[in-house]
Amino acid sequence: MCDSVITLPNPAAEPGGLAASVAKVFRQVSSSEPRLKPFQLGSIPIDPPLLLAPMAGHTHVGFRTLVRELGACGLVCSELISSHVLEHNPKSRQTRDLFDWSPAEWPFAVQLFGSVPQEMATAARLVVEAGAPIVDINMGCWVPKVAKKGCGAALLSDLLKAEAVVRAVCEAVDVPVTVKVRIGFEQGKPTAVSFAQAAANAGAKLITVHGRYAKQGFKGQSDHSVTAKVKETVGSSMAVIANGDIVDTESARMVLQETGCDGLMLGRECLRRPWILAKMAHELCGKPLPDARFHPARIARRQFELTRTLVKKPEKVVVRELRGQLLPYRLGAPTDHNRPERTELEMELRERLVKAETFEQMEQFLLEAEEKTWAK
């Protein structure tokens, strides 16, 4: 059964086949790995507790569906949506594009950001009415456009307001509310521990901790010792998910051990290897699953197909965005190396990819890439 998952039969030809078989493999796997126990968010099972991180510009419904199909992904999350825009300009095109979830993705979270409790409450009600089974509050975004307005990670330097936002959202909706934070705002001032306790008291059911301060952006390495303190503090009152620089089974194992957390969230590595959660789930249970068993160009083509079908934007826009979304695969590069040098084939494919203008050209390119990289 494993082999059919790994060598990737055309998932389009077998609706449900791929995801169903991985789910079955994972159920056997997760029950034998004590640190990877499924848990419940209210009545929603998070099984396995391996989560795809929200990444604006990448984790649209097409990509999320791909990761789900590849297996071992317990929860996905929408890109961040502004509560201010939702309340004041709910019909804006940009915001409507972000309402892209489909019931097939269940369970999924819809992420909101904002700093005004009443606006966040209204936005939460709106997304729940539109089908969101979980609402996630962004308190990790560090980009000035968000943080300068007191939203995202800036809330970590105003814990009273942060708690008021969580409380308002929890009181507004009857679905589980989760929060995603950095370890603090200013470097060296870890506020995530006291915030986590306040968030649990206010009704949040899960907290994801990215092990960097907001002021670091993406610099330096994640420090998971604060996440360990968060878990120690909140105990079983709230699930704790560790995030940041988890890129392979070894780092996953180390973070699980260091933090005692309930699950892991992966971001950038999923863009490079969308099958990483499936690989990790197997390997955490001592079942090696080499990258060579996956075929990146074929998976990239599946991402293209899902994106073309599910993302409701004009063709030109989808193709332009896909160029950037498919680059991290590094088609033509050896997959079993961490940071391989660019080969001639990779350079050639990269050049072709960024020139694709239409769905037809993109599909043709991906078919050729698949042929050229087969068994490489």
Ligand X SMILES: Cc1cc2nc3c(=O)[nH]c(=O)nc-3n(C[C@H](O)[C@H](O)[C@H](O)COP(=O)(O)O)c2cc1C
Q: Which residues are catalytic?
A: 141
53 lies in the binding site for ligand X (CB under 6 A): yes
Work out which of 267, 274, 296, 332 binds ligand X, going by CB under 6 A.
267
245 lies in the binding site for ligand X (CB under 6 A): yes
Q: Min. distance of Cβ 35 from ligand X in angstroms?
A: 18
Q: Min. distance of Cβ 182 from ligand X in angstroms?
A: 8
Site for ligand X in 138-157 (CB under 6 A): 138, 140-141
Cα 10 to Cα 113: distance, rounded to the nearest angstrom: 38
CB closer to ligand X out of 138 and 259: 138
Rg of the chain on CA atoms, in Å:
20
Q: Min. distance of Cβ 58 from ligand X in angstroms?
A: 6
Work out which of 47, 69, 79, 305 binds ligand X, going by CB under 6 A.
79
> Could you tell me which stretch among 68-76, 195-203, 266-274, 296-304 binds ligand X (CB under 6 A)?
266-274
Total residues interacting with ligand X, rule: CB under 6 A: 22
> Could you tell me which stretch among 127-135, 198-206, 240-248, 338-346 binds ligand X (CB under 6 A)?
240-248
CB closer to ligand X out of 69 and 245: 245
Work out which of 243, 249, 251, 325 binds ligand X, going by CB under 6 A.
243
Strands 81-82 and 108-113: parallel
Q: Min. distance of Cβ 117 from ligand X in angstroms?
A: 19
CB closer to ligand X out of 48 and 267: 267
**Which spans of this chain sit near ligand X (rule: CB under 6 A)?**
53-58, 79-80, 111, 138, 140-141, 180, 210, 243-246, 266-269
